Amino acid sequence: MKKEDLFEAIGNIDDQLLMASEQKLRSFRLKHVLIPITLAGCAAALIFAFAVIKPKDKPVIQVDPSLDAEEPLSTFEMSFGAGGMGFEGYSVKSIEDFKGVDWLTEDLEIETVPVYQNIEFLHEGISTVLNPDLDRMKAIIDDLAQRLNVDYEELVAREDNDIIYAYEVSDSKISIEVNSLMEAEINFKEELVLPENIHNGYDDSYEEIAAYGEYCMDEFSYLWDEELKLVVSGGDYNIYDEQSFDAGAQNDKMKVSFCGSDTGDTIWLMRIFYLMEYEKIGDYPIIDLEEATSLLLEGQFVSSAPDPELTEENIYGVSFEYRSSIYDQTIMPYYVFYMEIDSETQAEDDYLHISRYYVPAIPKEYISNWQTWMGQFN
């Protein structure tokens, strides 16, 4: 499967829903009723999801013509690669502090969604792609070198146990590295100074970080051919009561992050994450939000956080997301529940301590190792 096909298979659902008419969506209300549904990702992983609208007709989901609709769907193994992410927790003063998230307030009535196999995922205990696409790595680094006018003399290959995991080129001003996960890192040896009205400090406001992201998207637009969408994420607080945000951008082929200096007035690093290649397993039905909530309350979820109080009152939000990190062998959607994990501490410091709990959106009869994962602490 080509790298663009994943975004087409997932992203086209939005367009199909927009063309639909007279389709009723069933509302599902929780006590706190702010439910996110996210199509963006975090720094370590690209995350895809569906935007919620009110269509008029029943949506038409395209099925891969190479799959025989008469043949029964095969089962697959679910993977949940933590990748050293640690405890996935956030401290916020209200659920509205989360940025970069669209909130789902109604159930999705979509018949099927695609599930993929990540053929380049990192196996447990292995930090290098075993069969890297060296030609693609070279093509990316050559393209970026031309766009940035990097006149290099040597393409340096970096190896680990005789496996090339990255290529690097550089001149006196810029170095570029592309690794086997198709992540490009552009290092400006002389930091680029931002205009006086643009800033990227750790505790800058959401509006200031958004302006910084818009500036970077415009300033570096020559590095990509297709338009990017601004993504401002974050919004949680640290132990010093400082709220922080991150600016990035993405389209259907890449995700970009802009790294500023500690002082917030220069840029020294950019990272571009190119979509990796996946193989389609099939188009699978999904459970609805009500069933996902029931499974959550039964303890049928996966998380890197301690078990929360399993009540509907403790659900502050839900997203519908594809996990697609380099540690996930199976690329599939989840209902992700935002729940409070430490109400006693909240009473002392006036924060909501929130973590994320994942319920597979695919019916469990298709997941061969369901019992192995459900209810496990990672």
pLDDT in tens, 348-373: 567 888 888 999 999 999 998 887 66
- The yes-or-no verdict on residue 128 having pLDDT over 90 is no
| Per-residue pLDDT tens digits for 201-224 | 888 898 999 999 999 999 999 999
Region of poorest pLDDT, from 66-80, 150-164, 165-179, 284-298: 66-80
Q: What is the pLDDT of residue 375?
A: 63
Higher pLDDT, 105 or 95: 95
Contact status, residue 142 vs residue 112, Cβ threshold 8 Å:
no
Are both 165 and 76 inside the same structural domain?
A: no
Kindly calculate the radius of gyration of the chain based on its CA atoms and give it in whole angstroms. 21
Could you give the CA distance from residue 275 to residue 372 in angstroms, rounded to a whole number?
A: 29
Q: What is the pTM of this model?
A: 0.68
- The yes-or-no verdict on residue 132 having pLDDT over 60 is yes
The secondary structure element, H or E, covering residue 303 is strand 302-303
Does residue 148 fall inside a structural domain? yes
Are both 143 and 184 inside the same structural domain?
A: yes
Does residue 370 fall inside a structural domain? yes
Does residue 13 fall inside a structural domain? yes
- The yes-or-no verdict on residue 43 having pLDDT over 80 is no
Q: How confident is the model at residue 22 (pLDDT cuts 50, 70, 90)?
A: very low
Query: How many other C-beta atoms are found inside a 10 Å radius of the C-beta of residue 70?
Result: 5
User: Taking Cα atoms as reference points, which of 4, 82, 7 lies closest to residue 40?
Assistant: 7
Does residue 128 fall inside a structural domain? no
Q: How confident is the model at residue 123 (pLDDT cuts 50, 70, 90)?
A: low
Q: How confident is the model at residue 49 (pLDDT cuts 50, 70, 90)?
A: very low
Average pLDDT, stretch 297-310? 86
Greatest mean pLDDT among 86-90, 93-97, 309-313 lies in 309-313
Are both 217 and 296 inside the same structural domain?
A: no
Are both 37 and 112 inside the same structural domain?
A: yes
Are both 145 and 186 inside the same structural domain?
A: yes
Query: How many other C-beta atoms are found inside a 10 Å radius of the C-beta of residue 129?
Result: 22
Could you give the CA distance from residue 188 to residue 167 in angstroms, rounded to a whole number?
A: 17
Does residue 129 fall inside a structural domain? no
Q: What is the DSSP string of 148-206?
A: TT---S--EEEEETTEEEEEEEE-SSEEEEEETTSEEEEEEEEEEEPPTT----TT--H
Are both 94 and 148 inside the same structural domain?
A: no
Are both 147 and 209 inside the same structural domain?
A: yes
Q: What is the pLDDT of residue 102?
A: 63
Could you give the CA distance from residue 132 to residue 177 in angstroms, rounded to a whole number?
A: 15
Place of tokens 């922080």: 244
| Per-residue pLDDT tens digits for 321-353 | 888 777 778 889 999 999 888 655 444 567 888
Are both 115 and 25 inside the same structural domain?
A: yes
User: Taking Cα atoms as reference points, which of 306, 304, 297, 301 lies closest to residue 343?
Assistant: 306
Question: Domain end: 249, 274, 299, which one?
Answer: 274
Q: Which two tokens stand for residue 53?
A: 């609208």
Contact status, residue 267 vs residue 194, Cβ threshold 8 Å:
yes
Contact status, residue 330 vs residue 74, Cβ threshold 8 Å:
no
Amino acid at residue number 179: N
Q: What is the pLDDT of residue 94?
A: 79
User: Taking Cα atoms as reference points, which of 303, 287, 248 lies closest to residue 271?
Assistant: 248
**142 DSSP assignment:** H
Total tally of structural domains belonging to the chain: 2
Are both 157 and 100 inside the same structural domain?
A: no
- The yes-or-no verdict on residue 46 having pLDDT over 50 is no
Question: Domain end: 243, 274, 305, which one?
Answer: 274
Q: Write the CB contacts of 288 (distance below 8 Å, at least 6 apart in sequence).
A: 26, 28, 107, 108, 109
Are both 259 and 289 inside the same structural domain?
A: no
Place of tokens 């006196």: 172
End-to-end CA distance of the chain: 31
Q: What is the DSSP string of 207-234?
A: HHHHHHHHHHHHHTGGG-SS--EEEEEE
Contact status, residue 50 vs residue 14, Cβ threshold 8 Å:
yes
Question: Domain end: 274, 309, 335, which one?
Answer: 274
Does residue 126 fall inside a structural domain? no
Are both 8 and 72 inside the same structural domain?
A: yes
Cα dihedral 326, 328, 331, 335, rounded to 10, equals -120
Does residue 127 fall inside a structural domain? no
Are both 151 and 257 inside the same structural domain?
A: yes
- The yes-or-no verdict on residue 99 having pLDDT over 80 is no
| Per-residue pLDDT tens digits for 250-290 | 988 899 999 888 889 999 999 999 987 788 999 999 999 99
- What does the mean pLDDT of the chain come to? 76
Could you give the CA distance from residue 325 to residue 118 in angstroms, rounded to a whole number?
A: 9
Query: How many other C-beta atoms are found inside a 10 Å radius of the C-beta of residue 190?
Result: 10
User: Taking Cα atoms as reference points, which of 282, 283, 300 lies closest to residue 291?
Assistant: 300
Does residue 156 fall inside a structural domain? yes
**116 DSSP assignment:** E
Query: Where do the H-state alpha helices sit in 256-366?
Result: 289-297, 343-349
Domain that holds residue 198: 134-274
Could you give the CA distance from residue 50 to residue 48 in angstroms, rounded to a whole number?
A: 7
